[in-house]
Amino acid sequence: MGSGQVEGSVPEADEMTVGAFTVANWNDTDGVRDDQDNDGVIATAAGRDEIDLMELVIDKPTPDRGGWVTLTASYNVRLRNEETKVTEVVLDAYGNVELLTSQLPMTLYVEVTSPSTSLRDVIITADYQGYASDSVAATGIWSSLTAVEYGDATYADMIQQSPWSEVEAGKPPQPKMEEVGGTGLLPIPTTVEGSDFVCNAVWMCFTVTPPGIQDEAAVHFDLTRRIERKVWALDASKSVIEHGQNPLTVSFPEDDNEEANDDSSLGEDESDEPNDNGHMFTLDAPGPQATVPAVPGGIVYFVDRFNAEEFVRVGINLLFGGNGVAGSRCSGKYDWHVTHTLVDDGTGEFTRDATGRNEIGPGHISVDDYYPWDDT
């Protein structure tokens, strides 16, 4: 018997000692969390099929005396006949199913329905009527947002607190955090014209599970995000002006809702691996740029809105990072958005208005053309 990601099985020598790695099926690919979704074959038009299933190969016993093999699976396992969740192999109340030896060899697909609490706690055993037995182990990987700062907190204050004190000096995102100096809607010391400064910062900490997964050589994580940005120019009555310049407008990728489009391959603002406590850190610091107000004629306000989806993905025997689709998402999508309003101070230069929003979700994200200066 062998198991592993769909791309290949785990060698026999590693079936229990190392085991296989997969993603706990807590993602939401079609409006319902996948572990509760028994017939989610295809996600949305821009989504992904439910691909986070693990291959399980049950070989014919040698010698084959006929009869059946009893397959026993852990409580957090469902078995499928296909790579997507089409047909379920029904287990009895004890987690057993009997397979006639004439049906073997057989390939099934394993759905791990909840995260592992310890390494290799997903066990599947095949017993051939007491003549022989074989077992394989697996680990269901997940990660969650466990700490966040998006209000008015300084770096000096936060670095005294766990988990922020765990950010390693000299490694990302510590230099960026120190440069920014705090979180929330930060004060602007000068006019926007001629400046390129951060006036917002969100810090997030994710914890990967189960404990110790970060020490497994085959498992690699990546913190990443999708981002959407839109800029409006307004007159004194806050009516939108068509100014013909929107160089900073960015859309979410349309082809795949798992595609990252704001993941720097330099990794300056995010951890490149979990620390000893399984923590990964990220810093988002969007702000209006000097090029936005450089448009003449009747413009009194600029509104600069950012929406983002932050998440963690995992690759098995895969080193990755940067934009695109890679690995498997192993967290929910955590939303944040911020809106900056820039106002003409009467001299033709723009400073930031006192209004602004800085929120973190889920539930605080919108990609509609709403007017973000109007909270109604």
Cβ contacts of residue 296 below 8 Å, gap of 6+? none
Per-residue pLDDT at 69:
97
Tokens of 364: 């605080």
Question: In this predicted structure, what is the pLDDT of residue 318?
Answer: 85
Name the fold adopted by 2-141. Answer: Immunoglobulin-like (2.60.40)
pLDDT at residue 278, as a whole number: 97
Across the 376 residues of the chain, what is the mean pLDDT of every consecutive 10-residue run?
A: 62 86 82 68 56 87 94 93 86 96 95 94 95 94 90 88 92 90 71 58 93 95 90 81 68 85 82 94 78 61 83 89 88 83 72 58 41 42
Question: What proportions of the chain, in percent to the nearest 5, are helix, strand and coil?
Answer: 5, 40, 55
pTM, two decimals, is 0.86
Q: Helix, strand or coil for residue 36?
A: helix
pLDDT recorded at residue 82:
87
Measured CA to CA, the distance from residue 257 to residue 111 in angstroms comes to 22
How far apart are the C-alpha atoms of 52 and 313, rounded to whole Å? Answer: 12
For the CA atoms of 118, 120, 126, 131, the dihedral, rounded to the nearest 10 degrees, stands at: -100
Q: CB 230: neighbour CB atoms within 10 A?
A: 18
> Where are the domain boundaries for CATH 2.60.40 in the chain?
2-141
What pLDDT, on a 0 to 100 scale, did the predictor assign at position 102? Answer: 96
